[in-house]
Amino acid sequence: MLAHAYFQRLANLHGIDILHIKGYAFNSEIFKPDRHSTDADLLVRPSHVNTFVHILLADGWSIQAHFDTGSVFEHAMTLYHESWGLTDIHRFFPGLGKDPERVFQQLWAAHMQREIAHRSCAVPSVLDSRLIVVLHRARASSAYNPDLEYLRDILDSYDWAKLRERAAELDSSLAYSAAMGGLEAYRHERDYLLWKSVSTQVPSYIQWVGRLRSARGFAEKMRTLKNILMVNQDHLAMELGHKPTRAEIRTRFFERFGLGGGS
C-alpha cells in the first residue's frame, strides 16, 4: 500500500500523470473489500512513460520484463526494487481504445483522488475502474474470475448499461465483448482473433496468427514475427530465477515448437 504513496510523490515531484489501477487503488465499489494485492499497477500518460521509467531506474528500480516482452499486448513493464517490491508500469491498458494518448486523456478528464497510505492518489473514476476490471477479465481464459463475479453481484442493469456505454465511448467494445460475451459479432475486426486467443483456451498457433493479424504495417508484422519465434528471455529468467544460459534458451526454443531438446 505504501508503494502507491511513494509513486504518487515521485509523479508529483516530476510533473508525471499517473493513474493507480487495481490493488489498493480500487475500493469496495470495484473490488471485494477483503481482496489483497502484492504489487502496484500504474497507468502512465504515454508521453510521460519514458521519463517516468528513467526516474524509477535512477531511484534503484531494475527492469524484470520490458514492454515488448511483458505480454502479447506489449503494454506493461515490470520493475523490481529491494524495498518496494514489484510494480507494473502500463503505457496503455489492453482493450482500451486504439489511441493510448487519447484514451488516457479521456480517463484523466474523469479521474478522481483517493487517499492511499495517507497520500492523495490519482485513480480512474468508479465507472472507468469497473471497465478496467472487465477488460482485464478479457485476458483470462478461465471461466471463473472472482473480480468480475463481484461486479456481477453488486451491479444492477443500469450500472451494466453505463459500462457498455462507456466501453463504446472509449472504443473498447470488442474487448468488452471478449469478457462478457458477444465476441463473434466482431469477427470482421483485425483484433478479433487476438482477443479470442487470450479470452478462451486455444492452441498457441492461434494466438500467433492473431498477433500477426493485429500488427499494423509490414515492419510491425516482422517485429511481431520475430518476437513470436524468439524465446522470451525476460520471462524465462523470472521462471528460472537467474539469467538464462545459451543452452537454456536453446532448449526452451525447441520446446515451444515441440521439437525436443534441440541437441
The strand pair at 112-116 and 119-123 is best described as: antiparallel
Q: Which three cell numbers stand for residue 67?
A: 514492454
Longest dimension (CA), the chain: 60
Q: What is the pLDDT of residues 116-162, one digit of tens each?
A: 999 999 999 999 999 999 999 999 877 678 999 999 999 999 999 99
Contacts of 258 (CB under 8 A, 6+ apart): none
Residue 253 lies in a domain: no
Residue 49 lies in a domain: yes
Are the C-beta atoms of 144 and 175 separated by less than 8 Å? Answer: no
Residue 198 lies in a domain: no
pLDDT at 258: 63
pTM: 0.89
CA 224/CA 220 separation, integer angstroms: 6
Domain span holding position 140: 2-181
Taking each helix axis as running N to C, give the angle between helix 126-137 and helix 157-169, from 0 to 180 degrees, rounded to the nearest 10: 80
Residue 250 lies in a domain: no
**CA 139 centroid distance within chain:** 9
pLDDT beyond 80 at 219: yes
Q: What is the DSSP letter of 243?
A: P
Q: What is the pLDDT of residues 191-204, one digit of tens each?
A: 999 999 999 999 98
Q: What is the CATH number of the domain that holds 101?
A: 3.30.460.40
> Per the structure, how many domains does the chain have?
1
Residue 58 lies in a domain: yes
Mean pLDDT of the chain: 92
CA 44/CA 117 separation, integer angstroms: 20
The strand pair at 112-116 and 85-90 is best described as: unpaired
Residue 208 lies in a domain: no
pLDDT at 263: 38
